[in-house]
Structure 1
Amino acid sequence: MTFNAIPRTWRHLRRYNQVIRILLKYGFDDVVDAASKDLILRFGEKFIPRLKSDKKASQPSTERLRNAIEELGPTFIKMGQILSMRPDLIPPDIAYEFQKLQDEVTPISFEEIEEVLRNELKSDPYKIFSEISKESIAVASIAQVHRGKLKDGKDIVLKIQRPGVRATIDVDIEILGDLARVLGKYFQDKITQDPVAILDEFDKSIHHELDFIQEGRNIARFKRNFDTDPTIFIPQYYPEYSSANLLVMDYVDGIKASNIDMIEKAGLDRQTIAKRGTHLSFRQIFEFGFFHADPHSGNIMVLPENVIAPLDYGMVGQIDEVTIDHLGDLIVGAIRKDINRIIRAFEHLGIVDYTVDIDAFKTDIADIIENYYGVPLKELEIRILMNEFFKLIQSYHLMLPPRLSLALKAILTAEGLGRLLYPEFDAVSELRPYLRKIIMRRYDPKRKFREGLILIDDLALLAEELPKKARIIINKVASGKFAIQFEHRNLERLVDELGKSSNRLSAAMIISALIIGSSFIIQASIAPKIFGYPLIGVLGFLLASVFGLKLIWDMFRNRKS
């Protein structure tokens, strides 16, 4: 048997056991108990550890969840950090707790760094760089960063991917996939979203972040977008020295936007920085449709003359012109307290469909709007209003398109940065010019002409394809090959119980047959004998007894679980 033929959960048995132990340690025995049937079937009863935790009583569940994720390691931490940016998927209290997740890892040795550099550069790194600092300036689960100098004296940073991190993440994602399926199977009534779909989204996101060539392209694109803006600095990316595991870019020497004391000491203007920081995000989203998905204060550097320099370009989002229009409608509707406009935006964005009770949905939106009736716009916080909408979306088991959710979260984060730097900051006023541009752009004659040409092209294509498609359907109906596929949902537990019942009935019939057959053999007094009874009959009764006891034990255990 080859290694790949072994089921994946068996290949990662030790890591799987570690995950189960940590979940039990932090009091999530309900999750492990729900999964125990599946796990026992795969690995046997001895696989499930018997641990008890006193943390359930001493810590809130959100805090226990965060601590468990931190102990589970880099992949789980990264997933928690990404989920903290999706308040439409998880409750606000969990999203808030996940924002505290700390990516604390031990730096890898400089010898290992040099080895990675040699492998990626296919050359001695000191033939390319005149200097590489032995001390890292940033360490994370995916990579660590070192300062360096090019031969021309240019200050740069080298972002080096940790050896083996891809393999570790792939193993953990396989295990997370099993856990997601268990959650979807046994906790349907407690979770509002499909955990498998959430994991698929995370899988794509984390693998994009692992590709440093893509991150370099993101930097280059941001630089082109802001090349003429003197208030924004985007570092230079060096593709000739970079690879999928190595990113080389300019060193940015500034003050983190979160360091208010240093900004004050440097004599910088906090109000100007707040405005420029939010305009950076607003332009990215509403003008370019290509944006930094995590513009928190730790990812923003402030340079002399209040120049803004974003860092960490691994996580970005992208939305098209039509989505920008509808997003603008949603925000305008929320600000103006226009319920019909909000509903229209939700429909156009694909958030609500025919399955949603629109009348009830409208009533709930009206309740939210009523809470802010009479509040002056300058006192209105977009974050609080949007969080109300996120709760509403969760309560209806709806899901925002991932890119739209990232755009909304980026807007909220930008507002938070503005208020951190300048508590009186009015994000609504700063957002208004961009919303006006969206409305004006929608009625631009050039755009309408372009959309008209696309519509004509679509109609011509429909006229060309419709007869062909209709002919195919008619031929299938006439030949008896026309079929409609149905998909059943949420019947897995019923099917599982029916399967178990069938197995028990089969076992009972076998036991009955053994007892009846053994009785006939004993009555016939067939040799050989033991203690005066036919040996085959005695063995039949013993076998029936073993099967019967096993059946009783299985029924008792299932009833208990």
Structure 2
Amino acid sequence: MASLHLLRDIERVREIVAVLLKYRFDELLEQIEAPATWLRRLAPAVKGPYTLWQRIRMAAEELGPTFVKAAQLLSTRPDVLPRELIEEFQRLRDQVTPLPFEQLEPELERSLGLPPDQIFAEFNRTPVASGSLGQIYRARLAKEDVIVAVKIQRPDLQQEVAADFEIMAWFAERIHQAFPRLRPLDLPTVIAQLKQALLDELDFTREARNAELFNTLNQEPDQVFAPKVFRDYSSSRVIVMEWIEGRAISDLDLAPEQAKALATAGGRSFFAQIAVTGFFHGDPHPGNLLVTPDGRLCFIDWGLAGQLTRQMRFHLIDLFSACQEQDAEKVTHIAIQMGRGTHRIDRVRLEKQVVAVLFKYQQTLTRMQELGHLIFELIYVFGSNGINVARDYTLLARAVISIEQSARQMDPQFNLAGVGEPYVRQLSWERWNPWKILRHSAEDIRERLVTLAEIPQDMQRLLHRIEDGHVAVRLDHQNIDRLGNQIGHAFNRLSVAVIIAALIVGSSLVITTGVEPKLFGYPLLGVLGYVFSFGLGIYIVIGILRGK
């Protein structure tokens, strides 16, 4: 039976089921035992030679913004989805009909704390862009007298997302139970992670922080930058940024020298983000890169960003090095270091699949091209073998693919590896710099000495807690119910054995008395005692043989 939250959203559930039926997922609904009342077809099933992956993508498009965003986020999870479905999800784009400004104005006023006309000298109520999360307007701040872009979240979006994800979680749990071979993917956990990722994107303060952090870390502001954020007017559902007078690189017809310079600047900036700071734009596709009139490159839409730790960057260097050497054994070893195993890993099987991927990209690796696709394929192989790597790695793979596409739109001869080589050398030096190694070693020794010095105090605190009775020991025994049943059966057998022994002894004493009545010359009561004892003995033997 459907749970209570599904009953609260029963109309939305019926919409989702109707779309699934429309795209011929009847068998899935039957296998997860969806209530029969849901399975009434409201629209004819789609016809045509669509693949399974195409039908899933089309269903997501029809189900609305939450499902589109979830699919887009899933397209960065090659450890969960097959590559064919990832390719379909990467085709998804936000295609949302703009809402009238009157529906968004209350949210803007709540965020500002004042009516918009007291903050803005001008406000164009026609959106310049509209997406599944919000709409962007052009305005002018009265106090600062600057033109700004105002991004306002669509009304009630967080409630819609929460409701849709509750329904997704129910379906994921049912699929997890109905399809044992999909259980290693742990779909309920994947859905919970997607929900958190989307809720993070709905918090516009994160986007503001990401843009500000990039500008703080950016070492070449004269070539690349992010829009300035006006924090005094921004909140979790409204963000006010400087208006960028620029055009998307896909809309430009640049001179070859200028195009090459911009592609190089973008590539250098991206490698600096990865290798130097570890903080990078998660979706630098051509639409998110604007060229300003003064020839600078602006990274916009910072809702999706990744962060690589120092150790994660070192793992990437090792991985690229092993790939160039075509060393599948080394790649396998690095994969185990990079990720978290969900079950026992078959290293031989994993290494064979890595060999196949390296052979596929052998030619492009010599030119250091298609790095993003290589990372994607390897992460898919890792995931299918039970190694879950951090989401930032897959985000990086997608970002590398996007930046290569964007740069080659400007300069067809662009070579990402050539642009990034100085940054890779810098990262290698950071790793193997003798002075840094000595410093880190000294820090490690100091931390261990501090830990050793604290052991007596920790032991004393523990002893005090034991003396005060504040230490509890919890035993969590696997299959404890089964053990309890076995002990119970053993005690039952022991009890019956004691009864049998008592009957035999008692019957023997009766036999020696010669009391009436008799059967075959022996006291009847003693004979019956022997018969009953024999029957109980047979019962115990049969129980032992059956293992009960």
Instruction: Please confirm whether the aligned pair reaches a TM-score higher than 0.5, indicating the same fold.
Output: yes
The residue number in structure 2 matching 1:447 is 436
* Pairing partner for 1:255 from 213, 235, 247: 247
After TM superposition, list the pairs within 5 Å mapping 1:78-477 onto structure 2. 78-151=69-142, 152-190=144-182, 193-226=185-218, 228-259=220-251, 262-264=252-254, 269-351=258-340, 355-373=344-362, 377-378=366-367, 380-460=369-449, 463=452, 464-465=454-455, 468=459
Q: Kindly tell me the number of residue pairs found equivalent between the two proteins.
A: 470
CA shift for structure 1 position 54: 4.1
1:205 to 1:456, Cα distance in 2 relative to 1, 3 A = same
For 1:100, what is the secondary structure of its paired residue?
coil
CA distances 1:154-204 after superposition (whole Å, capped 9, x unpaired): 111000011111111110011111111122222332576221222122112
List, as ranges, runs of 4+ consecutive aligned residues in structure 1 with deviation greater than 6 Å: 469-472
Choose 245-254 or 83-92, whichever is displaced more.
83-92
TM-score (structure 2 length as normaliser):
0.79
Following TM superposition, by how much is the alpha carbon of 1:64 offset from its aligned partner in structure 2, in angstroms? 1.1
The 8 Å contact of residues 303 and 309 in structure 1, kept in 2 or not, is answered as: yes
Q: Give CA-to-partner distance per residue, 1:13-53, whole Å, 9 cap, x none.
A: 111111111111111122211222xx43xxxx323324685
Equivalents in 2 of 1:214, 1:358: separation in Å? 39
Q: Against the structure 1 CA distance between its residues 258 and 87, is the aligned structure 2 distance closer, same or farther, given a 3 Å change threshold?
A: farther
1:60-114 CA-partner distances (Å, limit 9, x unpaired):
2121111110111110000111112223321121111112213222212122333
Residue 71 of structure 1 pairs with residue 62 of structure 2 = yes
Higher-Rg structure is: 2
Quote the offset at 1:429 in angstroms.
Answer: 2.1
Shift in alpha-carbon separation, 1:133–1:299, aligned structure 2, 3 A = same
Q: Work out whether residues 273 and 421 of structure 1, in 8 Å CA contact, stay in contact via their aligned partners in 2.
A: yes
Q: Distance in 1 between matches of 2:240 and 2:167?
A: 33
Structure 2 partner of 1:62: 53
Aligned 8 A contact 1:219 1:237 in 2: yes
Quick one: percent identity of the two aligned structures?
27
The CA distance in 2 between the partners of 1:116 and 1:319, in whole Å, is 35
Aligned CA-pair RMSD: 2.9
Inter-partner Cα distance in structure 2 for 1:236 and 1:223: 8
Give the letter for the 1:79 counterpart: A
Q: Structure 1 residues 153 and 178, CA, compared in 2 at 3 Å: closer, same or farther? A: same
Output the CA distance in 2 between the equivalents of 1:362 and 1:166: 43
Amino acid at match of 1:9: L
Residues 159, 247 of structure 1: 8 Å contact kept: yes
Q: Which runs of 5+ in 2 are unaligned?
A: 481-548
Which runs of structure 2 are paired with 1:20-35 in the superposition (5 Å)? 20-35=17-32
The separation in 1 between residues aligned to 2:82 and 2:248, in whole angstroms, is 29
Q: TM-score of the superposition, structure 1-length normalised?
A: 0.77
Q: Distance in 2 between matches of 1:77 and 1:170?
A: 14
Distance in 1 between the 2:362 and 2:16 partners? Answer: 48
Secondary structure at the aligned position of 1:189 is classed as helix
CA deviation string 1:444-496 (max 9, x = no partner): 24432442244235434654459849989xx9xxx9956245499xxxxxxxx
Establish whether residue 7 from structure 1 lines up as the match of residue 10 from structure 2: no
| SS of match in other structure, 1:149 | strand
Assess if the C-alpha contact under 8 Å between 2:283 and 2:304 holds in 1. Answer: yes
**1:431/1:337 Cα in 2 relative to 1: closer, same or farther (>3 Å)?**
farther
